[in-house]
Amino acid sequence: MPETKRPTSAAAEEILGGYFPVLDHGFVSLVDYMGSDEDVERAARVSYGYGTRKVSATRGLIRYLRRHAHTTPSEMVEFKFHCSMPIFVARQWIRHRTASVNELSARYSLMPLLFYEPEASSFALQSKVNNQGRQGQPAPTELYADAIGRWEQLRRGAADTYGWMIEEDVARELARIDLPLSTYTQWYWKIDLHNLLHFLRLRVDAHAQWEIQEFGRVMAGMLQRVAPLSYEAWLDYEVLGGRLTGADRQALGLLLEGGEDGVRARDGAGVSAEELKELGMSPREFREFLEKIVPGERPDFGLDLSQMKTAEQMAEDADAAIPVAGS
């Protein structure tokens, strides 16, 4: 086979086509990619030269581009993923309308009867401060056990009905209609680097639903292998960074004072409630402002290659869960 003339990444080639398990039955695989950090630089410079610049120069340009929101060069790099996730995760995922998607069709294919079951550590009560999320600590074990029992009863009924309809040769597009949102689906998902960075910024955030965070973390590890300099800039400016609003900058000015010897902490107390009201900031806005200025822990999205499986290994689970069609 002739050697490719396309730019490649040795770290990306190491995982290409490998499958990384996510949750209990899901996965993410990087099945293809086009370009790397060098292609972002070439697009920005509109240069046909390749491999002639120092890595430090490429890094400096990429960081400048991310810092100043010059995003078009990042659109020249693309990723193609094969993913499997519960339907409720897919419905959150598909809200990002900047990718090309081809999802498993239950009109044509038999659905593997695989259902997501949260572990006890991620089963929690509704948050009192976040209407979209759950509390940080697990729910009581007795409640978790009752929930598992109810889920299993519901899923047995749905699976039995689906399997019965398939055996009776009912149209697949009808047999599928009462499968629960916990059922696993899968798709091919192709997206450019710029939009992938936006997707990941939202989906690895602690405020995102935990299940989709798990997929985001694996994909961030794949991004790191394809475009490590873009990944580094994304971490610094978007994951660990935060954009200051006009009120944020005024609040920061109230916390600090300047002088001939530079900026230092303001003497005395912090910012009073009256001062916040004058800035137009609600208590929630001020809490969010404090989150922006308190240093965060640098996340590690590195992939554990010992977890990587082949396509055949991942297919075994799904194939065993497909009902037998009627004759």
Domain that residue 312 falls in: 10-240+296-320
Same domain, 63 and 179: yes
- Ordered per-residue pLDDT tens for the chain, 327 residues: 568 888 889 999 999 999 999 999 999 999 999 999 999 999 998 865 555 567 788 899 999 999 999 999 999 999 999 999 999 999 999 999 999 999 999 999 999 999 999 999 999 999 988 888 899 899 999 999 999 999 999 999 999 999 999 999 999 999 999 999 999 999 999 999 999 999 999 999 988 999 999 999 999 999 999 999 999 999 999 999 888 888 888 888 777 765 555 555 566 556 676 777 788 888 788 888 888 888 888 999 999 999 999 999 999 989 999 987 654
Same domain, 288 and 301: no
Same domain, 234 and 259: no
Cα separation, 26 vs 2, whole angstroms? 35
- Asked if residue 1 belongs to a domain, the reply is no
Cα separation, 208 vs 264, whole angstroms? 35
Same domain, 99 and 206: yes
**Which of 42, 201, 203, 225 is the catalytic position?**
203
Cα separation, 148 vs 141, whole angstroms? 11
Same domain, 46 and 169: yes
- Asked if residue 283 belongs to a domain, the reply is yes
Strand order in the sheet with 19-22: 19-22, 26-34, 78-86, 184-192, 100-103
66 is catalytic: no
Same domain, 152 and 277: no
- Asked if residue 70 belongs to a domain, the reply is yes
Structural domain total, the chain: 2
Q: Position 194: which residue type?
A: H
Quick check: helix, strand or coil at residue 143? helix
Same domain, 215 and 167: yes
Same domain, 173 and 274: no
Whether 200 contacts 219, CB under 8 Å: yes
- Asked if residue 325 belongs to a domain, the reply is no
Given CA atoms 208, 212, 218, 219 in this order, what sign does their dihedral have?
Answer: negative
Same domain, 135 and 228: yes
CATH classification of the domain holding 160: 3.30.1360.170
Q: Where are the beta strands (DSSP E) in the chain?
A: 19-22, 26-34, 78-86, 100-103, 184-192, 256-259, 262-265
Same domain, 187 and 129: yes
Same domain, 173 and 282: no
The model carries a pTM of: 0.90
Helix 246-255 with 283-293: angle, nearest 10 deg: 70
Quick check: helix, strand or coil at residue 189? strand
- Asked if residue 327 belongs to a domain, the reply is no
Same domain, 236 and 284: no
